[in-house]
């Protein structure tokens, strides 16, 4: 049965990420970033896809599975804001106490 795993690339080089994927025997990387570009070398869509192909890993960009625009990092605005939990103040976040449904 196929497994689903996640990986981030913060603080890692492209080579380090690809090595971790190979070590975990990942066959397909599904990129869920809304915009598959990066200021970090090697992590923009076309460069990443080519490097993964060289390592024998398929690349698929499925932006619809990612965080909708405006919701990334708790920046949701508008009438649906009440449906987005506010995790400020948890896990060491210094922005204040957590509130859910405040609006």
Whether residue 54 is contained in a domain is answered as yes
Residue pair 81/103 in contact by the 8 Å Cβ criterion:
yes
pLDDT of residue 44: 92
Q: Tally the domains of the chain.
A: 1
Q: How confident is the model at residue 89 (pLDDT cuts 50, 70, 90)?
A: very low
* Predicted TM-score of the model (pTM): 0.63
Domain annotation covers residue 87: no
**53 domain residue, yes or no:** yes
Strands (E), 3-86: 28-31, 58-61
Please tell me the distance from the alpha carbon of residue 31 to that of residue 90, in angstroms, as a whole number: 27
73 is a domain residue: no
User: What is the extent of the structural domain holding 27?
Assistant: 14-67
- How high is the pLDDT of residue 54? 97
Q: For residue 53, which of 23, 20, 25, 18 has the smallest C-alpha distance?
A: 18
In a domain, 21, yes or no: yes
């Amino acid at each position: 049965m196929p497994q689903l795993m996640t990986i981030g690339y913060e603080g890692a080089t492209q080579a380090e990420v690809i090595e971790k994927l190979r070590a975990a025997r990942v066959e397909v990387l599904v990129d869920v970033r809304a915009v598959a570009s990066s200021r970090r070398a090697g992590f923009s869509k076309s460069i990443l896809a080519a490097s993964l192909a060289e390592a024998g890993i398929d690349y698929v960009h499925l932006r619809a599975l990612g965080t909708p625009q405006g919701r990334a990092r708790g920046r949701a605005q508008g009438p649906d804001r009440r449906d987005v939990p506010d995790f400020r103040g948890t896990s060491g976040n210094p922005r204040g106490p957590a509130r859910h449904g405040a609006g």
